[in-house]
Amino acid sequence: MHKVVVGALVREGRVLLVHRRPDKRAYPDVWELPGGVMETGESELGALARELQEELDVQIATGSASHLCRVTAGPEEESALLSAWLVREWHGTPANVAPEEHDDIGWFGLEELPPPAHLDVRRALVNAIRNPGP
């Protein structure tokens, strides 16, 4: 089973999503949180930092990241353990520097979020944004 990390960059109640290219094998043509497969020996936060650097050219402040949820995703024969994180602080301006993965990026408010690829991740994200805690 692959381990995948995704991160929700959140600013002023809006979340950054990436649009997966229509030719992608997994979850084509959907808006989703950026991230990817963990490499051997990586921690979840280490993988998240690497993936968001590779895909968005941002350096996350790992101390600002809080865990949202873990879900099993995909078909049984190719399932993945997906770990979602909320990130409130980063350096750099997010840009689509992985056009082979995504054909667009955009900021969305809670009322305008497109249909989710993973409903449990969406629920955890919306709850975290609405109830930010201390």
The CATH number covering residue 46 comes to 3.90.79.10
Q: What is the mean pLDDT of residues 101-129?
A: 92
Domain that holds residue 16: 2-130
Distances (CA, A) of 19 to 39, 40, 77, 101: 23, 26, 25, 8
Number of domains in the chain: 1
Q: What is the mean pLDDT of residues 12-32?
A: 91
Of 72, 70, 51, 73, whose CA–CA distance to 62 is shortest? 51
**pTM exceeds 0.85, yes or no:** yes
Going by C-alpha positions, the residue among 108, 112, 115, 110 that lies closest to residue 127 is 110
Tell me what pLDDT residue 134 has.
Answer: 60
Q: pLDDT grade, residue 124 (50/70/90)?
A: very high
According to the model, what pLDDT value does residue 10 have?
95
Looking at per-residue pLDDT, the higher value among 93 and 75 belongs to 93
Considering the chain, what is the average pLDDT of its residues?
Answer: 92
Confidence of residue 21 (pLDDT cuts 50, 70, 90): very high
Does residue 90 contact residue 7 with C-beta atoms inside 8 Å? Answer: no
The string of DSSP codes covering the chain is: -EEEEEEEEEETTEEEEEEEPTT-SSSTT-EE--EEEPPTT--HHHHHHHHHHHHH--EE-GGGEEEEEEEEES-GGG-EEEEEEEE--EES------TTTEEEEEEEEGGGPPPPS-HHHHHHHHHHHH----
**How confident is the model at residue 36, as a pLDDT?**
93
